[in-house]
Amino acid sequence: MGKAMDSEGQEAMAQKPKELGALAVSRLSKPGLHFVGGVSGLALQVAPAGSRSWVLRATVGSKRRDMGLGGYPDVTLAGAKEAARMARDKIRNGVDPIAERTAARSALLSAHGKSMNFEAAALAYIAAHESGWRNAKHIQQWRNSLEGYAYPVIGKLLVRDVDLTHVMKILEPMWETKTETATRLRGRIEQVLDWATVRGYRDGLNPARWRGHLDKLLTAPNKLAKVKHHQALPWAAIGGFMAKLRQGEGMGARALEFAILTAARSGEVRGATWDEIDLEAAEWNIPAERMKANKAHRVPLSSVALAMLKALPRIANTNLVFPAPRGGLLSDMTLTAVLRRMKVEAVPHGFRSTFRDWVAETTSYPNHVAEMALAHTIGNKVEAAYRRDDLFPKRVVMMEEWAGFCGLINSATVVALKRSASA
């Protein structure tokens, strides 16, 4: 047998210190390198300031290297020995553990640098393109639609993890009821994900693409619009519609106008009584028994809504704000008939969707403020927390802005009804 030794064997012979136990290691305090035995080259390094850390001194290839194994006492003596043995096994198998660890750390940093959630990607996309967009309103529409519909589902999700399931979860609930908004939202999600792909934050096909993909799962918007008969008026058309509605006569026209101004349900408006109206406080307090969710609802009255109410006659023998000509409640068909006479393909309830889309597309109000105005039951636990406060001051401002968007602020015309006015 030959007497030649490899570098590790020579090193082992040169460094055969007495093996120290855990107690002895804990007492090492003199600055310097203290070999502890048990594994060749394993030492506890004590810094002048007193900090201590583990070091494995080994020959890798032809060079002597010092490899850090962690701080003491976070890494125990037993842990340091195990790590040292694993490192020496790698060296014997031709692997440089220091280079391997450096590469792993580099890969981790690289992966971290390529991580971005959808909300951050969307904001980055908007920041990169807003200088070239036509106006501030367009930018706000981007922000509001993503905040209102996309962020609750995928906002915190890494863009590389966004898939078809997530996109469908956003679009499916609104595709048939808010087709215009959903179509625009789909395109915006697609553009954000395309941006993320080009920037290296995700790979693969875009799950929000339409042709050859979502067009196989969702009805084409043009076909869907024909089926739905435009039941909700587009928010951009509300100004012209309200100007024509205001010229209409009858209690039905005024009830519909009030419903639109307050974003209330038809039944809530038709059953409204003067006892519920506080003209001084500019509030309409609807009792729980008249609300869909069986919870009392406070509605802010804009200056336009107040003016309209003050112009209404108080009909004898009834406390209803909008009574039928022969007494009792107006029927829901009375409001529908107003729309038919105006040749508008919409239903009274659809104006709540019109209001909701206006908030999302043109304002900066958070999603939960709009949902509170609509008196919706909130399923999202985070948003539901806001139910502790009805956000009334914010809703006051929002409903005044809505009246302004409807083109009725500072309007000189308020249609007054005679006692004999027909519905």
Rounded-to-integer distance, Cα 181 and Cα 218, Å: 14
Rounded-to-integer distance, Cα 356 and Cα 235, Å: 9
Q: Which two tokens stand for residue 325?
A: 């000509």
Mean of the pLDDT values across residues 193-212? Answer: 93
For the chain, the average pLDDT equals 85
pLDDT of residue 187: 96
Find out whether 43 and 84 touch, Cβ atoms under 8 Å: no
Mean of the pLDDT values across residues 124-133? Answer: 88
pLDDT band (50, 70, 90) for residue 107: low
User: C-alpha angle with apex 13: 7 to 18, nearest 5 degrees?
Assistant: 135
Find out whether 288 and 294 touch, Cβ atoms under 8 Å: yes
**How do 277-278 and 52-60 pair as beta strands?**
unpaired
pLDDT band (50, 70, 90) for residue 13: very low
Mean of the pLDDT values across residues 225-230? Answer: 46
pLDDT of residue 97: 81
> Would you say residue 282 has pLDDT above 60?
yes
pLDDT of residue 68: 87
Q: 418 or 333, which is more confident?
A: 333
> Would you say residue 115 has pLDDT above 60?
yes
18-65 pLDDT tens trace: 888 889 888 898 999 999 888 888 999 998 888 899 999 988 877 888
> Would you say residue 352 has pLDDT above 80?
yes
Task: Specify the pTM.
Answer: 0.50
Q: 11 or 135, which is more confident?
A: 135
Rounded-to-integer distance, Cα 184 and Cα 181, Å: 5
pLDDT of residue 232: 85
pLDDT band (50, 70, 90) for residue 322: very high
> Would you say residue 382 has pLDDT above 70?
no
C-alpha to C-alpha distances, 348 to 182, 246, 259, 260, 299, nearest whole angstrom: 21, 15, 8, 8, 18
> Would you say residue 144 has pLDDT above 80?
yes
Strand order in the sheet with 297-300: 277-278, 283-286, 297-300
Rounded-to-integer distance, Cα 400 and Cα 413, Å: 17
> Would you say residue 230 has pLDDT above 50?
no
Q: 2 or 112, which is more confident?
A: 112
pLDDT of residue 3: 41
Tokens 């529908």: give the residue: 336
pLDDT of residue 412: 42
